[in-house]
Structure 1
C-alpha cells in the first residue's frame, strides 16, 4: 500500500487490539488499510527490529509477527487515513520508494 504520511510503499500492518490474536489482527488490518479480505493468514516468522526516533517515539526495539495470506478476489480499494492506493507488485518492476524493512520482509516470504 502507498502510505499517505511517509509517501512510500509498505506492507499493511498494525497493533493487536484487545480481545484479538495476531492472526485476527492481520486480517483486520489488511481490510482496514486495503479493503481486501482474507479468511486465514499463515504465520511465517517473528521479527525483531530497531526503530530510529520518529513522531511515533524515541529510538526503540520492537517485535512483530509476519503473516502471509491469499486473496481469492481483488476488491476495489477504498482510500483511508493510512493508504492512498494499493498495488499488486511482481517484486521486480520499479514502483518507487519501498520501505526498507518491508522490502526485506517481502524477500523473506
Structure 2
C-alpha cells in the first residue's frame, strides 16, 4: 500500500480517548479584528465540570455573530491554551471545510446537555 500525506496514520482507541471532545453552548461571540485571518472570539459554556472557556474560531464566512449566540458546538477541551495575538484561546472549536474550504462548525442536530463528552 502506498502512503502519502493525504492518508491518516492509524491510532489506537486509547489514543482517541485521550482527546476530550465536549459539547458546549456559545454564550458570547465577538469580532476579532486583531487576528491574522478573519476570526471570532467565542465564550463557550461547558457546564459545571469544565465551566466557561474561550476560543478563537476562523468561522466568519459561514457563521454570523448573531447566529452563534446560544448555539451548541463541539470542542477539544484538553489541549493547552494557545495565544492568538492578544487573545488566549483555551479550547479548539471543531469544524469541517465546506465545498469552498471555509469552516462549518460541527454541532449536534438537537440540543443535548452541555458538557457531554463525544465517544
Q: TM-score, normalised by structure 2?
A: 0.26
Higher strand share: 2
Higher helix share: 1
Q: Which of structures 1 and 2 has the bigger CA Rg?
A: 2
Q: TM-score, normalised by structure 1?
A: 0.27
Instruction: Kindly indicate whether structure 1 or structure 2 has the higher relative contact order, using CA contacts under 8 Å at least 6 residues apart.
Output: 1
